[in-house]
Structure 1
Amino acid sequence: MQAGIELVGVGGVTAMTMRAVCREAQLSQKFFYESFTDTDDLLREVYRSTFHRARTVIESAAASGEDETDSTERMRAGVDAAARLVKDDPRVCRILLVEPIADLTLRHFVRDSIFAMITNPMAATHPTLAPAEDSVRSKMRYATVFGSIISLFLEWTEGNFGDDRDAFVDHVTDVLLSTVSRR
């Protein structure tokens, strides 16, 4: 699993061949097939594991926000945790944000899982972000917001916004809150 995270997080989905995974993990192919049916199976687990890690970090930070009753403060704490996570480990950003755009198999997996990704962790930081219905308009609204968030986090991870994490977190929080207010 760690070999898959390293390969996808650094070189993308195309870098994760079965042989590359075995070489990175220093295991034979036999051990690969004892754990996974194929590289797509491993890729889904890499994504799930990375998503779970990010979700845990964000939800934990949101739950321990300065004022646990203030949903805006909880959202800001979650965004701050996400900003620190992707800055400290850029592989998280690549696995969760870049590769689902670049790889059709992963994109379909993510799209099929989108409801859970929208409602958790976003709903944990701001309950009104959870979609009220499964309509086309709702899907377009969330695709627009997440497209913006993806772009912001990519630029942040690459260092294009400087080092002022507070300014970045404030801006991303404002983008998310503007979505809530338009709802």
Structure 2
Amino acid sequence: MGSTTRPYRGRTAEERRAERRGRLLAAGLELWGDHGWAAVTMRGVCAHAGLNDRYFYESFADVEELLLAVYDKALHDLLGYVERAVAPTAAPRERIRAGMAVFVRAMASDARRARIGLAEPAGSPALEQRRRDTYRLFAGLARDWLRPGDEEACTVAVLFALGGAGELVVNWLGGTLALTPEELADRASELVLDVIEPYL
């Protein structure tokens, strides 16, 4: 058995690589969330993670690949929150309300997550495209809940509503809206429901 697969201190090489990748992702999330994606560098991430520079390329080809992985991890977590909050037997209106409440509260509870998911990708073509893909993903999820006759019109309405909800959260985090997190979630839900009312 080669040294790359031999257990070390009770862990396999794959487990050690996964642990290092997790530390790099956590460091990327913190640095990006606190300072912006443009401030994330290979050496900065490695230093923050307490790892030698050579371990970066074990998991990522470059910083952009790391940033996309950080974004995807945050998206995966958010989708998990939504799936757990939305009862599959609920009526479409209740599904939308529960999904929006989870989305808004998740963003409001962590300014770094909101910065990464809502505002910060602008300026990076790859991250901006991933952000747009994410909005379409959530639009498709909402459309599946609604099952409208005109799917394209519904997609347009949901994209419009989600963009507005995201902007509400960004402004709230910036201190321009005097609302509690619960009030913000309720207001965003009502506005989204108003826009998609024809498809409920």
Under TM normalisation by the shorter chain, which class is it?
A: 0.7 to 0.9
Structure 2 distance, partners of 1:4, 1:169, is 28
* Residue equivalent to 2:73: 49
* Residue equivalent to 1:171: 187
Are the structure 2 counterparts of residues 46 and 60 from structure 1 closer, same or farther at C-alpha, using a change threshold of 3 Å? same
Correspondence for 1:61 among 63, 68, 85: 85
Tell me which amino acid in the other structure corresponds to 2:49.
Answer: A
Shift of 1:142: 5.0
* Residue equivalent to 2:146: 127
* Residue equivalent to 1:74: 95
Unpaired runs of 5+ residues, structure 2, are 1-24
Structure 2 distance, partners of 1:47, 1:169, is 23
Shift of 1:127: 2.7
Q: Structure 1: which 4+ aligned runs deviate by more than 4 Å? A: 137-143
Identical amino acids, percent of aligned pairs: 29
Shift of 1:28: 1.3
Unpaired runs of 5+ residues, structure 1, are none
The alignment partner of 1:161 has SS state of coil
Structure 1 distance, partners of 2:156, 2:99, is 23
Structure 1 distance, partners of 2:57, 2:122, is 27
TM-score normalized by the length of structure 2: 0.74
Higher relative contact order (CA 8 A, sep 6+): 1
Q: Is the 8 A contact 2:135 2:162 kept in 1?
A: no
1:1-28 deviation line (CA, Å, top 9, x unaligned)? 1011111111111111111111111111
TM-score normalized by the length of structure 1: 0.80
* Residue equivalent to 1:116: 137
Tell me which amino acid in the other structure corresponds to 2:106.
Answer: L
1:33 aligns with 2:54: no
Query: How many residue pairs get matched?
Result: 174
Correspondence for 1:20 among 38, 44, 51: 44
Whichever of the two has the greater Rg, that structure is 2
Tell me which amino acid in the other structure corresponds to 1:38.
Answer: D
1:94-146 deviation line (CA, Å, top 9, x unaligned)? 110012224222112333555324223x347x4358x824xxx7776555333
Are the structure 2 counterparts of residues 80 and 51 from structure 1 closer, same or farther at C-alpha, using a change threshold of 3 Å? same
